[in-house]
Amino acid sequence: TETRIGMTVNALRKASQDTEVITISKQLIKKWKKFVPGDKQADEDGKSSKDRSHRDGDKTDSKNGTKDGSSASGEKRKNGSEKGSSDASGDSEYIPGIKNNTSVSLRTSDHTRLKCREMLALALKGNGDMPDGVVALPESIADQIEDAVFSEFKSIQAQYKTRIRSRIYNLKDSKNPELRINVLTGVITIPRLAVMSSEEMASKDMTELRTKFTKESIDEHQLAIAQGTKTGLLRCGKCGKRNCTYNQLQTRSSDEPMTTFVLCNNCGNRWKFC
């Protein structure tokens, strides 16, 4: 009360056109009022109203009758900006440092799209624990993800639903919490998430498991080639090289000759003969 900082912040709130500054100023003043004793708060409120009336009187004396209309319009603009800040914040409480980036262009009345946004928001919220450095509210991120997917397909047909379903599944995966954290903190951008494949969204453990299976498959294929017999007597009809590996198998009855399977080690061409 001695520094009159409350009046200074209140004056800043009235002069600013930034909705974020207005909202933060309101919350700050409301918190400060809880710590001010009743008598001091009443005194300060009286001084504030007195100062306001004094300023209003000066403005009225300095202005002529034609400027009354502009004053009324200014008051209307101020009320409109305060109402706009209230509408922008929505029903949820404003969180300092987290921006609600939902723009008018993202609004839709389609029931399917709204339901997809709701499920994406629930997946982003997880169990309710938010990591440090969240760039926006989960609802805002969900709206942007859905809009990015819809912008690609231009409809809500099967491809759109499959893409949305895969985002939800991977964001809700308890074995892959890194994906949800990276999206909330902006490490993975929304346009990037909208086009990522299942392999790209998979957890580190799943990626390592897939790499292991792929390597084992390659090793088995190479082992099958190594078990053949290399020869320079057979010439590849595709590249003309005499660098081949062959295997012989009894594919017909026992009185028939064996079938020879040949692989060109140079170009990968395969053929067989009896």
Question: Can you tell me the distance from the alpha carbon of 203 to that of 174, in angstroms, rounded to the nearest whole number?
Answer: 10
Average pLDDT on 90-95 reads 39
Q: Which of 6-15, 229-238, 243-252 has the lowest mean pLDDT?
A: 6-15
- Tell me, yes or no, whether 247 lies in a domain: yes
- Same domain, yes or no, for 202 and 265? no
Task: Report the chain's terminal Cα–Cα distance, integer Å.
Answer: 103
* Phi, psi dihedrals of residue 254, rounded to the nearest 5°: -65, -25
Residue 256 three-state SS: coil
- Same domain, yes or no, for 17 and 66? yes
- Tell me, yes or no, whether 95 lies in a domain: no
Number of CB atoms found within 10 A of residue 6's CB: 18
Question: Can you tell me the distance from the alpha carbon of 43 to that of 48, in angstroms, rounded to the nearest whole number?
Answer: 8
Question: Can you tell me the distance from the alpha carbon of 20 to that of 89, in angstroms, rounded to the nearest whole number?
Answer: 9
**What pLDDT score was predicted for residue 8?**
80
Q: Which domain range does residue 56 map to?
A: 5-89
- Tell me, yes or no, whether 211 lies in a domain: no
Mean pLDDT of the chain, nearest integer: 75
- Same domain, yes or no, for 202 and 112? yes
- Tell me, yes or no, whether 59 lies in a domain: yes
- Same domain, yes or no, for 83 and 111? no
Question: Can you tell me the distance from the alpha carbon of 138 to that of 144, in angstroms, rounded to the nearest whole number?
Answer: 10
Distances (CA, A) of 132 to 3, 120, 185, 239: 34, 20, 8, 60
- Same domain, yes or no, for 79 and 129? no
Q: Is 89 a residue whose pLDDT tops 50?
A: no
- Same domain, yes or no, for 43 and 66? yes
Instruction: Give the whole-number percent of the chain exceeding pLDDT 90.
Output: 23
- Tell me, yes or no, whether 217 lies in a domain: no
- Same domain, yes or no, for 148 and 235? no
**What pLDDT score was predicted for residue 224?**
52
Quick one: residue 109, left, alpha or beta (phi over 0 = left, psi -120 to 50 = alpha)? Answer: alpha
Q: Output 198 or 217, whichever has higher pLDDT.
A: 198
Contact partners, residue 145, CB within 8 Å, separation at least 6: 120, 167, 190, 193, 194
Query: Which of 206, 238, 256 is the C-terminal boundary of a domain?
Result: 206
- Tell me, yes or no, whether 177 lies in a domain: yes
Q: Output 218 or 143, whichever has higher pLDDT.
A: 143
Please name the residue ranges forming H helices in 132-197: 138-153, 158-172, 177-184, 190-195
**What pLDDT score was predicted for residue 204?**
74
- Tell me, yes or no, whether 200 lies in a domain: yes
- Same domain, yes or no, for 70 and 113? no
- Same domain, yes or no, for 65 and 117? no
**What pLDDT score was predicted for residue 100?**
47
Q: What CATH code is carried by the domain that includes residue 240?
A: 2.20.25.10
Q: Output 77 or 221, whichever has higher pLDDT.
A: 221
Query: Which of 89, 112, 128 is the C-terminal boundary of a domain?
Result: 89
**What pLDDT score was predicted for residue 7?**
79
Greatest mean pLDDT range, 28-37, 101-110, 226-235: 226-235
- Same domain, yes or no, for 140 and 184? yes
- Same domain, yes or no, for 184 and 240? no
Question: Can you tell me the distance from the alpha carbon of 198 to that of 190, in angstroms, rounded to the nearest whole number?
Answer: 16
- Tell me, yes or no, whether 153 lies in a domain: yes
Query: Which of 160, 175, 206 is the C-terminal boundary of a domain?
Result: 206
- Same domain, yes or no, for 184 and 246? no
Total number of domains in the chain: 3
**What pLDDT score was predicted for residue 72?**
46
